[in-house]
């Protein structure tokens, strides 16, 4: 098994589960079920069940590779070792963009919810949201300084009391108001089942984030067993919460009476008293925090590994002596997140509105994540042949045929969703103006870095054939390949 001499395996199974759940659940579950109800009809909960199908492929791939190669910065490490130095560099480069946009999205949304609690006037809302966003980013940056087992425990707590508790409160509170007659007709003829399928395409983004586990795999205890278990349990929790919440929305709100958000339904129907709605808003803020927090935790490890290889400057390879956390990598993500927040929210907010601006920035994150999933799925196809010993030692070992099918479906579905995002007029424009130029700059930076390393006598191609010196591999029991070789002798 792979071991990291500088990082610590401090994440147990419950922590790993709730890190995944906290990362995947976002604020969209409080908007989409209500906003799409009039477009799909009462069968909207089926859209959430169908939407998980593409994510099953990616989660399956992550379960296999996370157990087989449990190292920090798994996204970078996998793409670099299996597809080459350019793929590895561009992975870490695109992680910077994805995390920066995500931090601005989440901190902006958090600031917006806080402004509603304090009844901030519209003319002061923009500056208030930015200030609260800066405070939130700074707080979680500092929180990630400390040991992984502490940050993992914090993530578990805020996920339980933010994401899960607030959804359970709504589901339970909605039961007395549930009206079975609202499900007649179950699929309105004027809408058809095609509307449910289209909604499922949109809801797919509610399930993105499963790849996070391979970035912290080097810090998960007993990763060969716990990573596959964490992914399976997290997916079951997510499907149950999403589909049941959507079911309750359809049961308390007529589909032919359009609404904007779930909280609007709660207020309109008197499902909860005003004080309880305020309490739920606070929990939603905590839920947003449960997604913001693991962004620092997981993706800083990709920059750490790129620094160890020298593809990124060596300063990113430094780990805090006491806390065993990658401070330079965390600092870079913090700075980029602040830059996105301070530039895009004030720039786009006055014209599009703060809420719409955060949605547009989330499209940048979503597209970047989908792009990163494609090489992961392609690269994993070659892992058993390139690293047969690691493949043999893993506890979760699918057949080559099944693995290739799941990898292919994961890559194809991710590519299709990238194309679908590009068809949206506003989101497509933002994506084209941000992602493509950023990727082009990254390719140029890679060529410069490769030239610098080449002058120093370092071959990136040869480097990708080995692992950094900080990574050691424990000798497991003889695998099938080794046993057959011994018999031939």
Establish how many alpha carbons lie within 13 A of residue 316's alpha carbon, considering only the half-sphere containing its beta carbon. Answer: 23
pLDDT (0 to 100) of residue 483: 43
pTM: 0.84
| 1 pLDDT tier (thresholds 50, 70, 90) | low
* Tens of pLDDT, residues 125-145: 999 999 999 999 999 999 888
Identify the DSSP state of 109. H
Helices (H), 118-222: 122-143, 148-158, 165-174, 192-203, 212-215
| 94 pLDDT tier (thresholds 50, 70, 90) | very high
Partners of 104 in beta bridges = none
CB distance 291 to 22 below 8 Å: yes
Q: Is the pLDDT of residue 349 over 60?
A: yes
Identify the DSSP state of 11. B
Please state, in angstroms and rounded to a whole number, the distance separating the CA atoms of residues 295 and 302: 11
Q: Which domains does the chain have, with CATH numbers?
A: 2-488 (1.20.1740.10)
- Who has greater pLDDT, 94 or 149? 94
Contacts of 345 (CB under 8 A, 6+ apart): 104, 108, 126, 129, 130, 133, 354, 357, 358
* Tens of pLDDT, residues 208-235: 788 888 988 888 999 989 999 999 999 9
Please state, in angstroms and rounded to a whole number, the distance separating the CA atoms of residues 80 and 376: 10
Contacts of 313 (CB under 8 A, 6+ apart): 307
Please state, in angstroms and rounded to a whole number, the distance separating the CA atoms of residues 171 and 67: 35
| 489 pLDDT tier (thresholds 50, 70, 90) | very low
Structure tokens at 397: 């070992």
Give φ, ψ of 11 to 5 degrees.
Answer: -100, 115
- State the average pLDDT over residues 99-120: 87
Q: Is the pLDDT of residue 59 over 90?
A: yes
């Amino acid at each position: 098994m792979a071991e990291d001499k500088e990082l610590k395996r401090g994440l147990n199974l419950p922590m790993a589960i709730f890190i995944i759940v906290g990362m995947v659940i976002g604020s969209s579950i409080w908007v989409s079920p209500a906003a799409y109800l009039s477009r799909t009809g009462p069968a909207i909960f089926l859209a959430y069940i169908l939407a998980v199908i593409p994510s099953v492929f990616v989660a399956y791939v992550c379960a296999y590779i996370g157990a087989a190669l449990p190292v920090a910065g798994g996204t970078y490490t996998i793409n670099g070792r299996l597809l080459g130095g350019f793929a590895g560099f561009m992975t870490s480069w695109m992680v910077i963009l994805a995390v920066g946009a995500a931090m601005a999205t989440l901190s902006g949304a958090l600031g917006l919810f806080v402004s509603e609690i304090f009844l901030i006037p519209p003319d002061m809302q923009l500056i208030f949201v930015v200030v609260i966003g800066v405070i939130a980013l700074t707080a979680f940056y500092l929180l990630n300084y400390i040991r992984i087992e502490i940050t993992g425990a914090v993530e578990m707590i805020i996920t339980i009391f933010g994401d899960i508790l607030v959804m359970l409160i709504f589901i339970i509170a909605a039961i007395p108001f549930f009206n079975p007659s609202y499900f007649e007709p179950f699929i309105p003829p004027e809408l058809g089942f095609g509307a449910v399928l289209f909604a499922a395409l949109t809801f797919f983004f509610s399930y993105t984030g499963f790849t996070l586990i391979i970035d912290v795999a080097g810090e998960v205890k007993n990763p060969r067993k716990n990573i596959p278990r964490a992914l399976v349990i997290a997916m079951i929790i997510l499907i149950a919460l999403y589909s049941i919440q959507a079911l309750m929305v359809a049961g308390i709100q007529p589909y032919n009476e359009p609404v904007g958000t779930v909280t609007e339904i709660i207020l309109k129907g008197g499902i909860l008293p005003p004080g309880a709605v305020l309490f739920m808003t606070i929990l939603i803020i905590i839920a947003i925090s449960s997604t913001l927090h693991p962004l620092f935790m997981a993706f800083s490890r990709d920059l750490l590994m790129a620094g160890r290889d020298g593809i990124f400057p060596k300063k990113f390879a430094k780990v805090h002596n006491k806390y065993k956390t990658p401070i330079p990598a965390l600092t870079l993500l913090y700075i980029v997140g602040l830059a996105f927040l301070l530039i895009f929210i004030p720039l786009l907010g006055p014209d599009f509105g703060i809420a719409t601006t955060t949605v547009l920035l989330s499209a940048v994150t979503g597209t970047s994540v989908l792009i990163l999933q494609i090489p992961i799925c392609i690269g994993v196809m070659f892992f058993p042949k390139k690293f047969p010993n690691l493949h043999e030692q893993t506890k979760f070992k699918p057949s080559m045929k099944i693995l290739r099918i799941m990898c292919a479906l994961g890559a194809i579905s991710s590519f299709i969703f990238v194309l679908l995002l590009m068809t949206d007029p506003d989101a497509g424009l933002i994506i084209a103006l941000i992602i493509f130029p950023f990727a082009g700059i990254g390719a140029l930076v890679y060529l410069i870095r490769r030239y610098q390393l080449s002058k120093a006598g370092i071959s990136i191609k040869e480097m990708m054939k080995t692992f950094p010196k900080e990574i050691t591999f424990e000798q497991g029991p003889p695998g099938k390949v080794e046993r057959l070789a011994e018999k031939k002798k």
